[in-house]
Each structure stands twice: as structure tokens, then as C-alpha cells.
Structure 1
Amino acid sequence: MSAILEIRVLSAQDASRAEAGGADRLEVVGALDDGARSPEPRLVAEIRSRTALHLRPVVRLRSGYSTDGGEATRLRGLISAYLDAGADGLVLGFLNGLGDVDCDVLAALLDGFSCPWTFSRAFDAALDVPAAWRAVRGLRGLDGVRTAGSARDLERGLDDLLAMLRADPDAARLVVADGDLVADQVPWLARAGVRQYHLEDQVRPGGSPRAYVDEGLVRSWRLLLDAQTRRRVP
């Protein structure tokens, strides 16, 4: 199985350059404050008109990782609008007041919709990580969990993430490596069976969120992931 390279995009220009560089999937976001917020449905439609890549907009309207009934209604409206605009999947993740994966909220938000989705970095804010892994495995449509193995980044969480994968190799099929991923970490993750990788400012010149995605930087990551994936195949 080849690696899936996912790129965060904020515009149609970003999307076109990511596709030209060899990306497989795009996370579509709006404002970048406090991580990432939901884009306007018209942005999803514009990007859809410019690329054939798999699109997953973020479903998140406010700070934090909890929600309530009023916001949930707005979020369901966004999900419907995104799918109508051509999105292929979604990125979302919510925790309850105890810091556990909020399976009830997620089920309610996705009820009636049929699409694959990724659990966001909200996962790394869960208080009981083993319990969080048990919870997400029962969520319908989930095919990825964005994680750095820590609430901060892969530099601090890589060892814990690799230890978890040694104890539970099947979890590798869900891991989407995220959290300021650097090239030197890819061989370790690939050897552990990770096949999904998420990039943000790593593919923008100077690492600046104000710069457009750079095709050449995306291509360099594409080549790295392909080489490491082939190396692991017997």
C-alpha cells in the first residue's frame, strides 16, 4: 500500500499546486486561528472545480473541542453544504467535558450522512489515550486519526506513538501522522506501518502560512514517502 499524502489548503491555488506536486488528499480550512476552522462551502466548491483530489473540509466553528445543541445544528448544515459542494469526506473531532471522545455528538453530527472522515487533532487532547483509541474504533466511517502521540507535536510524541504502535500494530491503519512532521521522522513511522501523513506549513516557502503551497516542496515529500513505503514492503 502506498502512502497517502494529505495537504492542508486554504485556496484553490493551494489545491492546484498540491495536486501538481503529487498530493493524494486535501484538508480544506478557513481561518487558521486556534488550529483551523471551517471553510465557507463556496471555497469547497471552488476547489472542487479546480482539482480531482479527495477533499475533506474541517467541521469546526469555534475554539476548543466541545460543542452544544445549537452549534451542532449549524455544523450539520455545514456538512450537508460541503457534501453538496463536492467534498468527499470530512475532518472533525469532539471531546466531552471529561476529556473523552464524544461518541454521542459525533454520531449525531454524522447521522444520515455517508462519507469517510478523519478524527482531528482533538484526539491528542483526550485525557485517556488508550480509551480514546478504543472509542474511535467503533465510529462509523472513520478511516483516520490525526495524531502526534502528544498534545504538542511529533518531536515530543513520536516515542510514545511508536510504543503504542508496537503494542497495537493494527492502529497503524488509522494513524495520520501530524504535528509538525519532519522528514527524519518518516522512516520510523513507515517502519511502524503508518501510511497516512498530514502536512501544513512544511510545504509552504519559509514555513509561512501566508505563502502558497509550493509544488516542489510537495513533490519532495511525495518522493520521500514513496521511497520509505517501498523500503518497508517485503
Structure 2
Amino acid sequence: MQERGALLEVVVLHPRDVPGADEGGADRLFLVNDIESGGLSPEPGTVSRLCRETEIPVRVMLRLNDGLTTTGGELSRLVGLAEDYLSVGAEGLAFGFLDSDLEIDVEVCGYLADRLPGVPWTFHRAIDSALETDRAWRQVRHLPGVDAVLSAGSVRGLDAGCDELVERAAADPEVARLLMAGGGLRGEHVPWLARAGVRQFHVGSTVRPGGSWTKAYVDAAHVRSWRMLVDDAVDHELARRTTPYT
């Protein structure tokens, strides 16, 4: 089986972020509201307007509070929101919840996935707050429909967690397949992650001039720089793996 190239996902907050992401070469958009709270669910109207502006696949955050858990009442609202998002053009979703013991809430996540059959989704960064990381990865990888796990390896971001992610991905091809590195991703992290087999990368404030969520839109040149960086790192690694020894 031929190995895939890099996937670059860009965080967007509203339709005005679309041109920069599109022109810069993003593979997928990740739409959230209230980024200062870690990202909450946007209004369906925002999703609709954004999806009309692009042919790039869009994933939308399912999260109604700034914590890592959800309630029964919220769960019903999340299903309704997910159905609204998909009906107006979203390609997939992003969610991830822990229970009161700081373990993956398999019941809640499984319920959402089962109510949305065939819909691809990303397990969001709640995994970085799980009490036992090994157990969390074992639980997440068996959830139906999940094809990406957004993680920085630490609640403090990739500067603190990159080494752990590299080691985990290098030791387990299934982790490498699912892992989407994000949460303070910097250029120097990318070659190490690529060498460990990671192919999905997630960027947010670094594609905005000055790194500002509120004073700048996604910039095409910034996205293009990340596009070149992740493509070069992954292509180099794929070439290294496929070039025969002489």
C-alpha cells in the first residue's frame, strides 16, 4: 500500500478566514467558535456560510461548554447541531469528552458516533488531559468513525509533549495513522513527527499575522509556508523509506 502524503488542517473562525486557507493550500478547515475557551460549537448559519465559500472539506467542533465533560441535555443538543452542520455542507465533526475519572468517555463518544453513522470525526484534545494516556489511546482507537486524534502530547502544548508523541507514534503505526499533531505546533517539531510516521498536522494562530485570533484573518502566505514545510518533511521521509540501499 502506498503511503499517503501530509494533511494540513487549518483552524478557521468565520468565512473571512476561508480565502487565505484556500489559497495557501489547506487540505481541511476546522471551524470553531470562542477559541479562547478552547473552541465551542458555532451557529449552524456560520457553518452554512463558510461551507458555501469553499470546496475544502470542513470539520466543525461539537462542544457546548469549556470543560471536558458533557451532560445528557447537552448530548441531545450536540446530536441536533451535528445533523444541522452536516446538512449545510460540513464533511465531518470534532469532539472528545472525558468522564469524571478523567478517562475517555467511551459511552458518550460512542453514542455520538453511532448517531452519526459513516461521518468521519476527529477526537479533540481532551485526550491530553486523560489520567492514563496509554489507556486513553487504547480506548480512542476503537471508537467508530474516528480517523484523527488531535493531540499535543501534553496539556501544555507540543513544546512539552512532542517527544512523547514522537515516541508513541514511532512505536505504534496505528497511533501514527490517527495522530494529528496540533496545539502549539512549530516548524522544528514537524521533521521529528514525520519521521515517526505522523501525516496529519493542525495549525491555528501561526497562520495569522502576529499570531492574533482577533486582529488578523488566516493569511495565504503563512498557510503556504506550512504547506511547504509539512510536504517537504513527509516527502523526505517517504523517500527515505522507499529508497533501496545501494
- Smaller-chain TM-score bracket: over 0.9
Structure 2 residue aligned with 1:131: 135
Q: 2: distance between equivalents of 1:183 and 1:25?
A: 19
Q: 2:153 aligns with which of 145, 149, 153?
A: 149
What one-letter code is carried by the residue in structure 2 that aligns with 1:232?
Answer: E
Query: What's the TM-score once normalised by structure 1's chain length?
Result: 0.98
1:89 and 2:101 are equivalent in the alignment: no
**Cα displacement (A) at 1:199:** 0.3
What is the match of residue 71 of structure 1? 74
Query: What residue is the counterpart of 2:206 in the other structure?
Result: 202
- From 158, 164, 186, the counterpart of 2:190: 186
Shift of 1:136: 0.8
CA contact (8 A) 1:76 1:110 kept: no
Deviation at 1:6, TM superposition (A): 0.2
Structure 1 runs not aligned, ≥5 long:
none
Equivalent in the alignment of 1:169: 173
What do the CA deviations read for 1:20-41 (whole angstroms, capped 9, x no partner)?
A: 1000000001112321111111
Question: Out of 215, 229, 236, which is 1:231 matched to?
Answer: 236
Aligned to 2:123: 119
Cα deviation for residue 46 of structure 1 reads: 0.6
Residue aligned with 1:61, SS: coil
The residue identity in structure 1 corresponding to 2:11 is: R
1:218 correspondence with 2:218: no
Whether 1:109 aligns to 2:112 is yes
Query: Could you tell me how far 1:17 is from its partner in structure 2?
Result: 1.4
How far off is 1:166 after superposition?
A: 2.8
How well do the aligned residues superpose, as a CA RMSD in angstroms? 0.9
- Quote how far apart the aligned CAs of 1:111 are: 2.5
The partner residue of 2:10 within 7, 26, 29 is 7
Q: CA deviation at 1:107?
A: 1.6
Structure 2: how far apart are the matches of 1:92 and 1:98?
Answer: 18
Tell me the number of residue pairs that the alignment of Structure 1 and Structure 2 aligns.
234
Supply the AA of the counterpart residue of 2:49: E
Q: Once the two structures are superposed, what CA deviation does each residue of 1:176-234 show, in whole Å capped at 9, x if it has no partner?
A: 00111000111000101100000000000001111100000000110111111110112
Partners of 1:225 and 1:102 in 2: how far apart?
32
How far has the Cα of 1:72 moved from its partner?
0.6
CA distance in 1, matches of 2:70, 2:141: 21
- Given the two structures, how large is their TM-score scaled by the length of structure 2? 0.93
Give the percent of matched residue pairs that are identical in Structure 1 and Structure 2: 47
Q: What code does the residue aligned with 1:65 have? A: L
SS in 2 for 1:151: coil
Letter in 2 for 1:195: R
